[in-house]
Amino acid sequence: MKKIAVKLVLFFIVLICISSLLSFLVSTLYTNNIVSEVKINQEATAIAILELDEKTDLTVDDIVNIMPTSMYDVRRIEDIDLMKITNEEFERIQKHEIVFVAHNRFYDPTTILMVEDSYFKISLYPNNTIFKIVASRVWFSILLYVLIGTLLIMLLAKRVVKPILKLTSATQEVAKGNFDIQVGNESKDEIGQLTHNFNKMTRELKNIEYLRKDFITNVSHEFKTPIASIQGFAKLLQKGNLSEQEKEEYTNIIVEETSRLSNLSSNILKLSKLENQEIVDKKAVFSLDEQIRKCILLLEYEWSKKNIEFDLELDKVQYQGDEELLQQVWINLLSNAIKFSSKDSIIKISLKQTATITCIKITDYGIGMSEETILRIFEKFYQGDKAHSYEGNGLGLPLVKRIVDLNEGNVYVESRLNTGTTFTIELPL
């Protein structure tokens, strides 16, 4: 396989040669200046012949013999009828006028005159045509143009190909798993854009690799803890010699941990499915305000234990979307609001619809979040420092974010420590 530098050089050399040839052919079609030059020179020769005939005792044949030049041929015309001239031109010749004949640019121009009783023509030699005159004047320039162009192309080809070679080397590094590679290129052309996109790709791959490793680490940790707990309490139950109260306590712990494992597995499967889903395929029209009320009722056991009240401002909204997926959003957000709210507090929920969007706000007055936590709450398995003492696995909010993204909506978070948190969901109509 030829290197791209060689291909570029060959391509441009062929291009230069073709353009030079076409330029020459085109230039021969526009030969007015050369024809005018030939006309002036031939007329000058004809005038010289007439003057010599008038002022000297030389015969016409002697004059004709001394007049030819390296470019022009002077000959007697044996049969004037064979000349391609018009009647008007013939009459002018009969009047001893000098007539220049150039009916077609592809025929050599000829000057005809009458000396005494004979006709003479002044023309280019057979081997000296208009085309040859043009070629003699431009061939050296064209050859020099091709040679200089070839030399410059050979010098510049390596410079043009250099960033491509860098990208080739960088892609080989990426293929080996090195995502830290970055290619420097400040140009704004297509190669610069390609380099920019390549660097962006390697950064994304690096982030994905970090997320993959972090995901594996977190999954292992999240599964390891409840499994170790179940194993430990199961061994205690095997030993016997336990009171009924201890048995019940250990059994309840095992049930809670298995429930935690079940929820974790379920959320991982849901998130994995949603991450591989690009569109919402199950759309139906449903009452969004009634769905939110239904979610509050489903979580009654949780909020009633904390004696939490709800402040509802829900417009009647008919929404078209996946009812099951959106219910998951409200369940997760309300569960978090209840979980991190203090006892005897209030949770405010508002639902408003404008001409373009449906806006849902859920506000709690609980422990709030730090700025660092806000930046990372949509990362899988991430739990802020405050949240580690609470039950959870760090998958609820990533699920919320993915579902809202599938609905082409947006999620916004406002929070302050020890003040509360507001989640705002905007869904397009």
Whole-number Å distance between alpha carbons of 354 and 377: 28
Supply the pLDDT for residue 387: 42
**pLDDT (0 to 100) of residue 161:** 73
- Closest to 80 in 3D by CA, of 44, 34, 119: 119
Q: What is the pLDDT along the chain (429 residues), one digit of tens a residue?
A: 346 566 666 777 777 777 766 666 666 555 556 677 777 887 888 888 888 877 887 877 777 777 766 667 788 888 887 888 888 888 888 888 888 887 665 557 888 888 888 888 888 766 665 656 665 566 666 677 677 777 777 777 777 777 777 888 888 888 887 877 888 877 777 777 888 888 888 887 776 666 666 666 666 666 776 787 788 888 888 877 778 888 888 888 888 778 777 766 666 666 666 655 555 567 788 899 999 999 898 888 889 889 999 999 998 989 888 888 888 889 889 988 998 888 889 999 999 988 888 999 999 998 888 888 888 887 766 666 544 444 555 677 888 888 888 888 899 999 888 888 999 999 987
Task: Report the pLDDT value the prediction gives residue 386, as an integer from 0 to 100.
Answer: 46
The three-point CA angle 193-196-199 to 5° equals 150
Instruction: Tell me how far apart the alpha carbons of residues 348 and 22 are, in angstroms, rounded to a whole number.
Output: 80
**CA–CA dist 201, 174 (Å, integer):** 10
In this prediction, residue 421 carries a pLDDT of: 92
CATH, domain range 190-275: 1.10.287.130
Question: What confidence score (pLDDT) does residue 258 get?
Answer: 84
Using alpha carbons only, what angle is made at residue 53 by residues 48 and 110, rounded to the nearest 5 degrees? 50
pLDDT recorded at residue 377: 82
Contact status, residue 285 vs residue 319, Cβ threshold 8 Å:
yes
DSSP helix/strand/coil, 363: strand
Of the options 1.10.260.40, 3.60.120.10, 3.40.50.2000, 3.30.565.10, the CATH number for the domain spanning 284-428: 3.30.565.10
Q: Among 267, 241, 236, 265, which residue's Cα sits nearest to residue 253?
A: 236
- Domain ranges in the chain are 4-28+133-174, 31-128, 190-275, 284-428
Among 142, 172, 165, 188, residue whose Cα is nearest residue 8: 165
Q: Could you tell me if 138 and 25 are in contact, meaning their C-beta atoms sit under 8 angstroms apart? A: no
Residue 305 to residue 345: CA distance in whole angstroms: 12
Per-residue model confidence (pLDDT) at position 132: 62
Characterize the bridge pairing of strands 72-77 and 118-124. Answer: antiparallel
- Sequence-distant contacts of 385-388: CB under 8 A, at least 24 apart: 386/340, 386/417, 387/340
DSSP secondary structure of 208-248: HHHHHHHHHHHHHHHHHHHHHHHHHHHHHHHH----HHHHH
Please spell the DSSP secondary structure of 57-89, one letter per residue: ---HHHHHHH---SSEEEEEES-GGGS---HHH
